[in-house]
Structure 1
């Protein structure tokens, strides 16, 4: 992952510089500067408009009691697209504008959701529903589902056994604190 980030941060500016030089040779220096400024202004306006629209849809879904997964993914894409449009460059502007156009944003969202679902299925990412990451999740019918243990399968029922690593076991205020030898001590 670190190697990919380093490559991204080294390769992207080099490509952007090469593209800006090519555009400068085609349309001239001042026209290139104007293009960078115009894409930044138009992009920020589009990002604001699309962001407010998505925010309104998100609020309507929440008020209806639905989970706004699509809207949250759109919000992340719009945020990244807006940041790319502020960055001077041709490649980042093309990617940024495509993240703000609803048709292409839908495609980005589908790819993002498939990637996210793949990470959850692999067990490299966990999603918890509930208040403050509570221990239960709900299935599509609203019934409580026992939580997954860190190694994947669902526990049969919430009980006092812990299936994860000892250092991951949650401590609760009502549990007696151990002294390290497996016995409970009365001091906090």
Structure 2
């Protein structure tokens, strides 16, 4: 069956071309910024500033990554789905990788992802991308969604822990006996 490609395939091809162009342009932009900073403050100072930003990045990753890990453990211990904590971990990991790369542009982007007060923006963008991809995959297998369906909870909303729960109006007691057949 041949024909014109679907809108998701065209969008995916466009995003792939955009990502490749970005990966090719990023080193050129980094070099231009490093050269401009080097001309403004000097070569050795620029080198020391690049090393200092990498060290700052490593320190921030250690602190924020540890904080994200502890939040993940706490969510698991409390019995709730750790979606927000996993998203935080992914954002911190990507931001940390960008901070460790040499260059001022990647350092700025990484810093925006690692800092706790700017991370919610990145987390919501990640949630939107994942939701869009999941909905596209669901439509691929089940057809389009129906308007008016309830929306799933976002990562920012608290979720109730799952597990055995008893109705508040139930007075039913079930008596039983444990029989051990190992004897």
- Give the TM-score category using the shorter length: 0.5 to 0.7
Q: What are the equivalent positions in structure 2 for 1:26-175 lying under 5 Å apart?
A: 26-123=40-137, 150-152=141-143
SS of the aligned residue for 1:102 comes to coil
Q: CA deviation at 1:5?
A: 2.9
* Distance (Å, rounded) in 1 between the aligned partners of 2:144 and 2:20: 36
The aligned counterpart of 2:17 is 3
Structure with greater helix percent: 2
Q: CA deviation at 1:106?
A: 0.8
- Could you list the per-position Cα deviations for residues 97-145 of structure 1 after superposition, in whole angstroms to 9, with x for gaps in the alignment? 111111111111011111211221222xx6xxxxxxxxxxxxxxxxxxx
RMSD of equivalent CA atoms: 1.9
SS of the aligned residue for 2:102 comes to coil
Q: 1:94 and 1:151, CA in 2 relative to 1: closer, same or farther beyond 3 A?
A: same
Q: CA deviation at 1:8?
A: 1.8
Give TM-score, length-normalised by structure 2: 0.67
Higher relative contact order (CA 8 A, sep 6+): 2
* Distance (Å, rounded) in 1 between the aligned partners of 2:30 and 2:46: 13
SS of the aligned residue for 1:103 comes to coil
* Distance (Å, rounded) in 2 between the aligned partners of 1:149 and 1:14: 39
Query: Number of matched residues?
Result: 131
Structure with greater strand percent: 1
**Which sections of structure 2, spanning at least 5 residues, go unmatched?**
1-14, 146-183
